[in-house]
Structure 1
């Protein structure tokens, strides 16, 4: 079944995720995201270490001055913002792949989102849409690590960690959808999503 712009006859709501309305669940996922940040930070740091252990052994100690500290803070802020944009852009590209319509992008507080509010998307394509940013950024980042300088490796480590931990909402939706009944259509309207079970 392909994505459609109107809900077919016989489909009824059977699940919903709306973090704007469900504040408690949003806070719980934020806590899980913090735990994931620590775990992924350690995992990606170990991978980077495997590729750069010799360079680290030869490197001398570095004194960090005021300008270098400011540059580091700005680079970190840019990485956080850039990671969020790239993550949502990948969601948007895959929305387009499965609907052939330009997705809707938006900002709420400190997060961005991509959605397709005019569309009802089957479960498998929607799972691909949700998982794509985590998989693509992780695979490309890890593939580049062996060839990156120490400075670029630090940037990649932060990017990979932020993206993986920031995917906690995607992971939650994926788990919910995997246990939902079939056939299934998902309506992502930006602030949340509702899925519908067919007869």
Structure 2
């Protein structure tokens, strides 16, 4: 299946998520993102320590204490790259420029006029986490030790910011392979195929 702007007639809305309206979910995701930042950071540290034994733990504290502006810049760059990766895959799959925006506590890239098959949407959803983690590790392998801490934080920031992507991909991953997904930026809609004959069900005339 390929992305389409026309939902097949045999499909209907199964469930939807609206992050902008669902304040509770938004807060839960923000908290989960902070927790995931530290968990992923610990796992990342194990990998970086193997890759760069010359990078000492104190370097992270040196970065945090001496270069707050650099950390904020890193956070901004990571946020920009994260959404650009989403947008690049939306463009690749649809051939149309995606929509970018900002909501309360999050940014997004979306293709609100398109319906995506499950596999393609999972690629779109997880691409920033996978691609930027791999790219960041490649950069860490090549740069001077003094810059490793900043890139390390950038990779961890990206992982923490991907918690919303992980959440929606876990839910979509549990669905059948023939669903359609619509990304509205502030939320998502999932469409399932109706049971045969249900779309044409009519009440008898009395």
Name the TM-score, length of structure 2 as normaliser. 0.85
Q: How much has 1:83 moved relative to structure 2?
A: 0.6
1:164 aligns with 2:141: no
Conserved in 1, the CA contact under 8 Å of 2:20 and 2:104?
no
In 1, the alpha carbon distance for the partners of 2:189 and 2:30 equals: 21
What is the RMSD of the two structures over their aligned residues, measured on CA atoms? 2.0
Q: Give the corresponding residue for 1:180.
A: 175
Q: Give the corresponding residue for 1:108.
A: 103
Q: Give the corresponding residue for 1:38.
A: 38
Q: How much has 1:187 moved relative to structure 2?
A: 0.9
1:145 aligns with 2:140: yes
Q: How much has 1:48 moved relative to structure 2?
A: 2.2
Secondary structure of the residue that 2:53 maps to in structure 1?
A: helix
Rg (Cα) greater in structure: 2
In 2, the alpha carbon distance for the partners of 1:88 and 1:80 equals: 13
Conserved in 2, the CA contact under 8 Å of 1:13 and 1:197?
yes
Q: Give the corresponding residue for 1:131.
A: 126
Conserved in 2, the CA contact under 8 Å of 1:182 and 1:197?
no
Q: How much has 1:86 moved relative to structure 2?
A: 0.3
Secondary structure of the residue that 2:182 maps to in structure 1?
A: strand
Matches within 5 A, 1:58-73: 69=66, 72-73=67-68
Q: How much has 1:94 moved relative to structure 2?
A: 0.2
In 2, the alpha carbon distance for the partners of 1:16 and 1:81 equals: 29
Gaps of 5+ in 1: none
Q: How much has 1:136 moved relative to structure 2?
A: 0.4
